[in-house]
Structure 1
Amino acid sequence: MTVRSRPPSYCVVGGGISGLVTAYRLRMAAGPDASITLFDPADRLGGVLRTEQIGGQTVDVGAEAFIARRPEVPALLAELGLAGRQVGTTGVRPLIFAGGRLHPMPQGTLQGIPANAASMTGLVDAPTVARIADERARPLPWRRGADPAVAELVGDRFGSQVVARSVDPLLAGVYAGSAATIGLRSSVPTLAAALDRGARSLTDAVREATSGLGPPPGAGSVFGAVDGGYRVLVDELIRRAGFGWAQVGVRRIEGAGRGWTLIDDDGGHSHADAVVIAVPAPLLPGIVEPFAPSTAAAARRIAVASTALVVLALPGGTPLPEHSGVLVASAERLHAKAITLTSRKWGRRGNVELLRLSFGRFGDSLARNTSDEELLSWAADDLADLFGIRPDPEDCLVQRWIDAMPQYGPGHADLVAQLRAGLPPTVAVAGGYLDGIGVPACVASGTRAAASVAVATAAE
């Protein structure tokens, strides 16, 4: 190994949470003299971590919460001196809208998959409850390493009502997809592991998988958020990473000796010893095609969904149930797929009631083609149907996330392995389409990518 005669230069393409964590980790690893340039054409950095003022209150209008039992976000907040900004929920639970009425969220399920028949009573019909109760008596043909769609396994063992009324509402909230298109290993990895270990039934596998899921260490809330919104985290990462922001997109990357040349959308050329590409999956193929055609081909196979979010600030005292929100079963007549009662979930501040209504699922064009006015009208209709209210909002906002929700289909892990295998050592990828949706997975993704290219440049 030769001794580098100058500090390394890095380029990070994409300024979402994955790219910002990458830049921060590179700064920590390479020191103050390293050159780090971040490319992103947006009006602000943070990607789907976007914080706005609505009704005089701070509201996250993209990603809202993180799983508190995963260590990545709490550890990062502590590292940045922000541990005191982590907050938990009030403890109220969501409802499910199925069969034209509201139901309590079943207890003791895993992504909506029940561990016992009693938990589904009232949500599904009597024959389905009996089918769940009888599942352990039926042989389970499971092949170790299999990765079926969630609906294929759960529908076969527990019936279609469990899929539509219990599993689909949760997967729609996480992926904007459905149990028919999401793979078991990506969405419920602990369940797949239990089946691989020889669980004799799906019921036994769910019980085994849920037995180790206790509350997050030292806290009672399953979900966490940042007091002041994710903007607090984004701003601190930007400050500490100390990168130069090129407010332009990258068109393609080409090899240049032992480094790389980035051609941006304005025709400019930038050099880097190593590059991390932290853009959504649909943008990756055009950037890497010149030097990594197999990576580009794999990325094209990752489907995406688009969503639209309506955030409302209703007058204080508007009668809303003491629940964190409503998840909507598939094939119901509501327009929204999920509603978060933000003031109930996180605690009320000020004299408004904050709500978030999410629209759009994989396969539809709702987020692209529906006007703001129509979305706001749909939101009002859904609130009237669900809660019998039609208040006049004090403030509102419509936020669209186009092609922002990657779909983790069956075989996703193998597809990602192919994608990464086509890249040279000094180029890495990061993002929510790789190893998991959600802020913790994106933090882990950026950390992994930064470590990979830091090691590769040190070895040159």
Structure 2
Amino acid sequence: MPHVVVVGAGMAGLATAWDLVAAGEPGLRVTVLEAAPDTGGKLRTGTVAGLAVDVGAESVLARRPEAVDLAREAGLGDALTHPGGRAATVWSRGAHHPLPPRTLMGVPSDPDTARGLLDDAEVERVRAERSRPLAPLEADDVAVGALVEDRLGAAVVDRLVEPLLAGVYAGHARRLSARATVPALWAAARAGEPLLDAAARAAAGATATAGGHPSPVFAGYRGGLGRMAADLTQALRERGVDVRTGTTVRGLRRTGTGWALTVGPTVAEEEADADAVVLAVPAAPAARLLHDVAPDAAAALGEIGTASMAVVTLAVPRRVLAPVLEGAGVAGSTGFLVPPTEPVRVKAATFTFAKWAWVDALDPELVVLRASVGRAGEEAALQRDDADLVATVVDDLSTILRGRVPAPVGAHVQRWGGGLPQYAVGHLDRVARVRDAVAAHPGLAVAGASYDGVGVPAVVATGRAAAARVLEHLRAHPPAGG
């Protein structure tokens, strides 16, 4: 019987496994090997004051369908939910400002919507883009911050683009690739068109997709996305997929008939045979496994940097926090973003209880909120123990909210060391080199956040593409006797 081994049980690996078994290939065996004790990767549930909530990713982009489609196909659609509350704010220069609507990663479609975050002169600088002569961008890639600053001014980068990109990549706008992170802006620049027009087209396209009515931008899962990963894992096992956690893959080599993987601790290694292999792991472990098999792919993967960050989740008394939020003018908001130019360590906060009704219902006396700390190259902010990090977050929240945030009844610190790949300028060329090198080896594929996007839908899409590649190979080259 044909056997496929998927290395990694994050959402890329789980999506790969789902598409493999959903294809209905006779006799196909699928094994998923995960080094961590749980599946889900950056989707993880933790306990804060006895309340189970997400301590990793908490939402998926609903207007990109891959993640919600996967949940529905697996019979999990009834648990999907959408956020409530008012839109997040941006805290800048001591005040909270509404996040402008209809932006494209911070680039406004209407300059006036950014007034307040931008002063009058800065708004006019943005508006002037449409009347300026714009030469087409000749470079194959450019940093998104450099592009936006040249067209719209540094203030748009610092107060809008930076906090939004940091929330997705934990990176810096002046280092991240425009082509990889905001391809619509890059395409407009290459065509010599205003970035404002690209933002307007994106906003119009979202409305058209929604049939003329605003549709939810994001989706969540009752019980948390960590629960969704666990439920998807259970659905896979019910379909016969062998999902093994706590199982490290240490080596990969080609055999005369397929592939062999070295599995387990160094003192008790075993070998697993496979007709096809999908590496759904981050760039560094993928590079190690490909070092001898596909050295060009390994070298390109080695060029992809990462950022470390932490999610600090707090449970605080509801009645004490409420007047603080009221006094700051953010009651009912889902949270706030913080530009990196501000003198605090927190780069974003989510009022989880206001964003998700299922979280708000967990405890009548407590509310849950969370903050993120750390960006690429700023690991010093994380070099403190959990208690110090919690105290730092409470102090920063108190500064931003202009009132003393109560001491938490419970706290959870989730550190994501090297957890977010950085799409530096030239990223897509590196990805092309990886895929070209891997394509030379039939029955081998890669998937994950290191390639086409760090959001859950993009990660799921890489898993589904890897499954399609493997199935095509198996159909063209069935195992002996298959």
TM-score by length of 1: 0.94
Name the counterpart of 2:442: 425
Give the match's secondary structure for 2:337: strand
Q: Read off the aligned partner of 1:301 and give its amino acid letter.
A: E
Name the counterpart of 1:263: 262
Structure-1 separation of matches of 2:26 and 2:40: 23
| 1:139-183 CA distance string (max 9 Å, x none) | 112236742111111111111111111110000000000111111
1:92-241 matched pairs, under 5 angstroms? 92-143=86-137, 146-196=140-190, 198=191, 200-214=193-207, 217=210, 220-241=215-236
Name the counterpart of 1:327: 337
| 1:182-228 CA distance string (max 9 Å, x none) | 111222223333444x4532223322333212286487321100111
Structure-1 separation of matches of 2:208 and 2:201: 16
Gaps of 5+ in 1: 1-6
1:47 to partner: Cα distance: 1.0
Contact 1:124 1:161 in 2 (8 A): yes
Structure-1 separation of matches of 2:397 and 2:471: 51
Contact 1:86 1:225 in 2 (8 A): yes
Structure-2 separation of matches of 1:146 and 1:417: 14
Contact 2:373 2:382 in 1 (8 A): no
Larger helix proportion of the pair: 2
1:13-412 matched pairs, under 5 angstroms? 13-29=7-23, 31=25, 33-143=27-137, 146-196=140-190, 198=191, 200-214=193-207, 217=210, 220-241=215-236, 242-245=241-244, 247-264=246-263, 265-266=265-266, 267-317=269-319, 318-319=321-322, 320=325, 321-347=331-357, 348-349=360-361, 350-351=363-364, 352-366=366-380, 369-387=383-401, 388-412=403-427
Count of paired positions: 453
Structure-1 separation of matches of 2:347 and 2:193: 34
Q: Which moved more, 1:413-422 or 1:168-177?
A: 413-422
**Cα-Cα RMSD:** 1.9
1:335 to partner: Cα distance: 1.0
1:427–1:314 CA distance, 2 compared to 1 (3 A): same
Contact 2:382 2:389 in 1 (8 A): no
1:451 to partner: Cα distance: 1.2
1:397–1:246 CA distance, 2 compared to 1 (3 A): closer
Q: Read off the aligned partner of 1:39 and give its amino acid letter.
A: L
Structure-2 separation of matches of 1:66 and 1:85: 13
Contact 1:425 1:452 in 2 (8 A): no
Name the counterpart of 1:3: none
1:379–1:62 CA distance, 2 compared to 1 (3 A): same
Q: Which moved more, 1:284-293 or 1:128-137?
A: 128-137
Q: Read off the aligned partner of 1:258 and give its amino acid letter.
A: T
1:331 to partner: Cα distance: 1.8
1:32 to partner: Cα distance: 7.1
Contact 2:180 2:427 in 1 (8 A): yes
Gaps of 5+ in 2: 326-330, 478-482
Structure-2 separation of matches of 1:383 and 1:244: 41
Name the counterpart of 2:467: 450
Name the counterpart of 1:4: none
1:31 to partner: Cα distance: 4.5
TM-score by length of 2: 0.89
Give the match's secondary structure for 1:445: helix
1:91 to partner: Cα distance: 4.2
Structure-1 separation of matches of 2:449 and 2:252: 21
| 1:308-334 CA distance string (max 9 Å, x none) | 110001112322222111100112111
Give the match's secondary structure for 2:346: coil
